[in-house]
Amino acid sequence: MRIIAFRTIRAFFENPEYADSGISLKAWYHDAKTADWKNSNELKKQYKNASIVGNGRVVFNIKGNDYRLVVAIDYEFKVIFIRFIGTHKQYDKIDAKTI
């Protein structure tokens, strides 16, 4: 899968406040980059705790559920768009289906 854009992930974990997310985000990035998900069912086989929220959006729990990563996935073109990353408190303020 092609991920747009890693710089968003990097900017998050390079922030000293969220530095503890770096290892987990890098692991997710590696897994997603090498994945060949054809649909959400295949994604759920690898990430059982991922939430399919509709409108092509998927929510991943990062670092033992300390952070949330919202992505939009186009399975046909094998592209993942980073839409949001933040704490649970920050996540509670957004609509994952439309962000």
Whole-model pTM: value is 0.93
- Per-residue pLDDT at 96 exceeds 90: yes
What is the reported pLDDT for 5?
A: 87
What is the reported pLDDT for 47?
A: 94
Give the model confidence (pLDDT) of 4-30 as tens digits: 989 999 999 999 999 999 999 999 999
Q: Which contacts qualify for 27-32: CB closer than 8 Å, 24 or more apart? A: 28/60, 28/62, 28/69, 29/3, 32/1, 32/3, 32/80
According to DSSP, residue 38 is labeled S
Per domain, the residue ranges of the chain are 2-91
On whether the 2-91 domain is CATH 3.20.20, my answer is no
Give the model confidence (pLDDT) of 25-81 as tens digits: 999 999 999 999 999 999 999 999 999 998 899 999 999 889 999 999 999 999 999
